[in-house]
Structure 1
Amino acid sequence: MSQDNGGVDLETSVGYLLKEASSALRVAMEAVLRPLGMTLTQYSCLELLAQRPGLSNSQLARGAFVTRQSMNVLVQALERDGYVTRPTQATVGKVLPTELTPSGRGSLDKATAAVRSVEVRMLTGLTEAERRQAFASLRSMVNALQDNGEA
């Protein structure tokens, strides 16, 4: 089903296929996180904090691809539920560095295992060489867009 009116042929559009893959990945990840009582954005936030403790609300928002306002609401909920902790007052400027609690770490460990199972399923049927090539190709695409200031 190709377009001959000058439009994009969706069957051969890499951008459209990436969007379709992204959507399918999101749905699958949300499905395995839901039984754990976690959303994909919550998981992303906890994973970022595990890798970089002390991130600010703005840094977390950028890393999870959400607005600062959305992240603020999310972090407040995670703090209320005991997954993260923040100081009541900023030691420098206005930044309140956020860190995982032991409860947050435990929940993240379960969520990470669930998310990894989705990634394993997604890569089923690819050889190790094909997996490396797919990663390299995707990284190259991201870099090309970021290098041109369009990301």
Structure 2
Amino acid sequence: MDKTDLVLDKQLCFALYGASLALTRTYKPLLEPLGLTYPQYLAMMVLWETNHLVVKALGERLGLDSGTLSPLLKRLEQAGYVTRRRDSQDERQVTVSLTPSGAALQDKALDVMAAIGTATGCSLEEIAALRDQLQALRGKLNAALAS
């Protein structure tokens, strides 16, 4: 490697960053009718997959700390999509659950997925392959950080 490799457009990090920004911008108008931000949408997807999660488990699944997750969940609760309940056995534990409105939102989210698929211009197979490559990359980077 030499100085000619230190060009912004040659950097993997910049390509990922730019693609992430573009994808998030694409989601924004699709999520507005649902009353969700992109991070809220991700939290709802986890809850649609596994309802009744403790905040810690939800945060681990999303890679978010409680300082970021708590206000996000508060806004989802104010919107009527989730409830938060303290565990009677351990008051430090808060369980997040979908309300009927939050569960019903999942059907509307199918349209979001379809629109994103169209926006990418990729086939389902291409999207799956790209997702798998990115997940593998994340795993390698996390392993490198742990060592």
Same fold (TM over 0.5): yes
Q: Distance in 2 between matches of 1:143 and 1:83?
A: 32
TM-score relative to the length of structure 1 = 0.78
Cα distance, 1:117 vs structure 2 = 1.6
Q: Which residue of 2 aligns with 1:104?
A: 102
Q: In structure 1, what residue type is equivalent to 2:103?
A: R
Cα distance, 1:79 vs structure 2 = 2.1
Out of 114, 130, 136, the residue aligned to residue 132 of structure 2 is 136
Aligned-partner SS, 2:9? coil
Q: Distance in 1 between matches of 2:115 and 2:95?
A: 31
**Structure 2, unpaired ranges of 5+:** none
**Structure 1, unpaired ranges of 5+:** none
Aligned residues: 144
Cα distance, 1:59 vs structure 2 = 2.7
Which digits, 9 at most, give the CA deviation of each residue in 1:100-123, with x for residues without a partner? Answer: 11100112331342144213421x
Q: Which residue of 2 aligns with 1:114?
A: 112
Q: In structure 1, what residue type is equivalent to 2:139?
A: N
- Greater displacement, 15-24 / 61-70: 61-70
RMSD of the alignment, in Å? 2.4
Richer in strand (by share): 2
Cα distance, 1:132 vs structure 2 = 4.5
Cα distance, 1:63 vs structure 2 = 3.2
Out of 75, 79, 82, the residue aligned to residue 81 of structure 1 is 79
Question: 1:131/1:46 Cα in 2 relative to 1: closer, same or farther (>3 Å)?
Answer: closer
TM-score relative to the length of structure 2 = 0.80
- Greater displacement, 59-68 / 19-28: 59-68
